[in-house]
Amino acid sequence: MRKRTLKRGLTGFWWLTLTFLYLPLAVVVLFSFNASNSAATFTGVSLRWYKALLGNEQILSAFGNTMMLAICSSVIALCIGCLIGYGMYRHRHRKLGWLIVLIYLPIVLPDIVFGISEMMFFVQIHRLTGLLQPGLLTMIISHVTFQIPFVALIVYSRFVGLDPTLFEAAKDLYATPVKRVVHFMLPTIKPALISAFFLSFTLSVDDFVISFFTSGPESATLPIYIWGAIKKGVSPEINAIAALMIGAVAIAAILSLTMSRRRQQ
């Protein structure tokens, strides 16, 4: 008896928490279809804010920057992180404490400390040498820095999960190290590489603080544009662009669910 009331209470609490989690997102999506430009009352359904987006060059260029940043940084981080992940696995019997510390450093550092130290560093380098002007390049560099550890850890854990005798077998099968990499290593860690790439991509699109501090005047990403618009005073167009980003996340969530389902079967 008592168990059943407990279960019912928990179910209620679960739905309450879900409401709490999705309410802010739902409000943004709802008001993106608002006919008037009021942020407090919903007057009718219209697509005018979405139409306004298409004509807004700042938003389009911010979208381009976001994609460019996410793709470039993820690809670079994938290459570098993958190497580290394999190195950590192959040499796991050595004392690599310093490497572990180095890899965890970008993860544990508070965003803001990360962002301002990068910013100060880039500004001073630019002052001294003229290189690394704040812009897309500096943003890519800092994104790669925080993505490397995640890639390395994912690849490392995939290698650890493999049967060590596989490596011996591959050594016997394929004569050259290059062939071993192409025919054995890359195919076996492919799932890890895919999930590492998507994680890096999401981390990059999600990041605001580090991008904000390392960006230049021409390299605003969508989050930076939205931030600026909020600070200037809320414009309903933000609801539309934010709703589109929420939609992208929803699609990603459904994709990841169906992919994990398929893997189970």
Partner 1 sequence: MAYTGVTVSARSRGMVRESRHLLFTVAPGATWIIIFLVLPGAYLMGVAFMSNGTYGLPEMPLSLESFRRLAGFGFLGWSPGNLYTLFRSLWQTLISTGLVVIVAYPIAYYITTCREKWRPIMLLLVVVPSWTNQVIRTFGWMNLLAPGTPLSSLAEGLGFIPPNMGLYPSNFAVTLGLVYNFLPFMVLPLYAAFEKLDIAQVEAAQDLYASPVRAFWHAVFPQTLPGLLAGIVLVAIPAFGMYVIPELLGGGKGMMLGNLVAMQFSGGANWPLGAAGAILMLIATFIGLFAMRRIGKRLGGGEEVVI
Span 28-87, contacts to partner 1 by CB under 8 A: 28, 31, 39-40, 80-81, 83-84, 86-87
Gap between the Cα atoms of 67 and 74, Å rounded: 10
Q: Does 172 bind partner 1 (CB under 8 A)?
A: no
* Nearest-angstrom CA–CA distance, 107 and 74: 16
Among the listed ranges 27-35, 47-55, 57-65, 184-192, the one in contact with partner 1 (CB under 8 A) is 27-35
168 binds partner 1 (CB under 8 A): no
Question: Of 39 and 71, which has the nearer Cβ to partner 1?
Answer: 39
Among 71, 141, 181, 259, binds partner 1 (CB under 8 A): 141
CB of 166 to partner 1, least distance (A): 18
Residue of 1, 45, 94, 233 interacting with partner 1 (CB under 8 A): 94
> Which residues, 97 to 116, sit near partner 1 by CB under 8 A?
99, 102-114, 116
CB–CB of 126/171 below 8 Å? no
- How far apart are alpha carbons 53 and 230 in whole angstroms? 16
Q: Binding partner 1 by CB under 8 A: which of 20, 55, 128, 163? A: 20
Question: CA dihedral in degrees (162, 168, 170, 171; nearest 10)?
Answer: 150
Contacting residue, 209, 216, 235, 259, with partner 1 by CB under 8 A: 209
Site membership for partner 1, residue 117 (CB under 8 A): yes
Binding status of residue 186 toward partner 1 by CB under 8 A: no
CA distance 73 to 82: 14
Q: Quick one: CA torsion of 222, 226, 229, 235, rounded to 10 degrees?
A: 110
Alpha-carbon span 227 to 212, nearest angstrom:
9
